[in-house]
């Protein structure tokens, strides 16, 4: 289906620029008319060019969509009427186009879940599967409410994850800048004075001069190495599935950060598994959909093994225990939930526990990072001072009155 760049005018006479998929110009005009816009002119555009300047649909946009749909469907408003009301109040051009297309597809006889499935880049497989379960059980409003709460939780979790990465990265860049300044500007001036004294230099002073010379003479290599390593690593990961698996496994073993990431993955898994199971999706389908949620190939491989063991007749608890990637807390809660028939409630407890623990661990890691970086910078300055002042002190001590 071609994509059109168009100029249109609304009822108030205001010009609107945008892009939209359409079969042809009459179809584009019809779609715009349903959005209460009159087409002025248009031209076929390439997909890449049309995407330039397009505002992405963020998680917050999806939260707003789920919240409003939950309110409307919960009040007894039919889905088609709810989508029409939502489209009229939507100020996001791209999302408004999608909702218009959803309305057309539903009027053409599709279910909401099938209409959503046409936009996998906006509504992922888990989202559409939950909507399907809500349609089958008649609990569509409850599903939208759960999706809204889950997306809010994801947004908060993403914010916490950024905190644990961005602050150390910022402090590390500052320390690297200080090191570069010391090695390129300050140390050469001090070492020139020390060399003129004519004494035998200690090993740590020679090491400082050696490192300073590397910074001065090979600064371009030091700048190019991280860039080359980054792109080389990306190329390696892109070519090899085994490399991607090993890298994901390594991320879970990184000091301080790995355990936090592991708990974030477990909290995400428990939240969505409970949400899907509570909506009426089968256990094996929940596990299959969870593989794309966890965001880690090692954990996803463990979920595939668990699904295989369950399909062979093992209990849910035994299958997850045999994978070796889930801690005793998850196994125990699964056992309790399986025994009582409240598996979704047990997993919600797991999610709550890990969500709280993740927040506490992030706070601890952030509290540890600043002193650790201060110690590193202090050791660096101490090494420079010892290497510079040590020979000067030795020379002065040899001077006899």
Give residue-wise pLDDT tens across range 261-302: 888 888 878 888 887 888 788 888 888 888 877 878 888 888
Tell me the residue range of the domain where 115 lies.
Answer: 59-152
- Give the pLDDT of residue 398: 65
DSSP for 202-214, please give it: PHHHHHHHHHHHH
pLDDT reading at 211 higher than 90: no
- Check if the beta carbon of residue 203 is closer than 8 Å to that of residue 178: no
Q: Which of 115, 135, 152 is the last residue of a domain?
A: 152
Does the reported pTM lie above 0.85?
A: no
Res. 177: pLDDT tops 70: yes
Is residue 331 a part of any domain in this protein? no
| Inside any domain, residue 396 | no
Section 211-237 average pLDDT: 88
Residue where a domain stops, chosen among 112, 130, 152: 152
CATH of the domain at 96: 1.20.81.30
In a domain, residue 175? The reply is no
In angstroms, what CA-CA distances link 353 with 125, 152, 178, 343?
26, 17, 41, 15
Residues 31 and 83 in one domain: no
Residue closest to 182 by CA, chosen among 218, 209, 221, 204: 209
pLDDT digits (tens, 9 = 90+) for 32-66: 877 778 888 887 765 444 444 456 788 888 898 99
Q: What would the two tokens of residue 383 be?
A: 């090494």
How much is the average pLDDT of 176-194?
79
Average pLDDT of the residues in 332-346: 84
At residue 348, φ and ψ (nearest 5 deg) are: -65, -35
* 332 occurs within a structural domain: no
Same domain, 97 and 144: yes
Q: How many domains does the chain have?
A: 2
Q: Residue 400 has what pLDDT?
A: 52
Q: What pLDDT does residue 197 have?
A: 67
Same domain, 95 and 32: no
Does residue 80 sit within a domain? yes
Note whether residue 25 is domain-resident. yes
Tell me what pLDDT residue 198 has: 64
Give domain status of residue 386, yes or no. no
Mark whether 86 and 135 lie in a shared domain.
yes
Q: What percent of the chain has pLDDT over 90?
A: 1
User: Which of these three, 133, 152, 171, is where a domain ends?
Assistant: 152
Examine the domain organization and report whether 84 and 118 are in the same domain: yes
**Residue 228, pLDDT score:** 93
Terminal C-alpha separation, the chain: 94
pLDDT at 51: 44
pLDDT tens profile 84-127: 888 888 778 788 888 888 888 888 888 888 888 888 888 888 78
Of 2-6, 22-26, 320-324, 358-362, which has the strongest mean pLDDT? 320-324
């Amino acid at each position: 289906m071609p994509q059109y760049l168009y100029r249109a005018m609304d009822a108030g006479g205001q010009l609107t620029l945008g892009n939209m998929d359409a079969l042809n110009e009459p179809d584009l005009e019809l779609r715009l008319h349903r959005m209460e816009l009159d087409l002025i002119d248009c031209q076929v555009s390439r997909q890449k060019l049309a995407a330039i300047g397009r505002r992405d649909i963020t998680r917050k946009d999806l939260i707003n969509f789920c919240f409003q749909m939950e309110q409307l469907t919960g009040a007894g408003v039919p889905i088609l009427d709810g989508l029409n009301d939502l489209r009229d109040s939507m100020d996001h051009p791209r999302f408004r186009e999608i909702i218009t297309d959803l309305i057309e597809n539903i009027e053409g006889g599709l279910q909401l879940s099938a209409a959503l499935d046409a936009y996998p880049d906006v509504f992922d497989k888990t989202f559409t599967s939950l909507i399907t379960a809500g349609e089958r059980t008649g609990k569509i409003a409850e599903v939208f409410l759960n999706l809204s709460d889950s997306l809010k939780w994801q947004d908060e979790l993403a914010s916490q994850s950024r905190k644990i990465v961005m602050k150390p990265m910022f402090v590390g860049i500052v320390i690297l800048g200080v090191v570069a300044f010391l090695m390129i500007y300050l140390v050469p001036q001090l070492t020139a004075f020390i060399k003129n004294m004519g004494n035998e230099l200690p090993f740590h002073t020679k090491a400082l001069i050696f490192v300073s010379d590397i910074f001065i003479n090979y600064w371009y290599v030091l700048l190019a190495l991280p860039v080359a390593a980054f792109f080389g690593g990306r190329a390696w990961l892109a070519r090899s599935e085994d490399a991607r698996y090993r890298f994901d496994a390594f991320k879970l073993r990184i000091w301080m950060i790995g355990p936090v990431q592991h708990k974030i993955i477990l909290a995400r898994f428990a939240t969505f598994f409970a949400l899907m199971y509570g909506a009426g999706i089968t256990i094996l389908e929940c596990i299959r959909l969870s593989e794309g949620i966890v965001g880690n190939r090692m954990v996803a491989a463990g979920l595939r093994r668990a699904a295989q063991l369950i399909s062979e007749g093992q209990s849910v608890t035994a299958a997850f225990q045999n994978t070796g990637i889930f801690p005793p807390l998850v196994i125990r809660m699964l056992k309790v939930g399986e025994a009582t028939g409240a598996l979704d409630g047990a997993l919600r407890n797991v999610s709550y526990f890990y969500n709280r623990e993740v927040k506490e661990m992030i706070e601890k890691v952030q509290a540890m990072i600043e002193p650790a970086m201060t110690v590193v910078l202090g050791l660096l300055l101490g090494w420079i001072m010892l290497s510079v002042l040590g020979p000067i002190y030795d020379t002065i001590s040899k001077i006899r009155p």
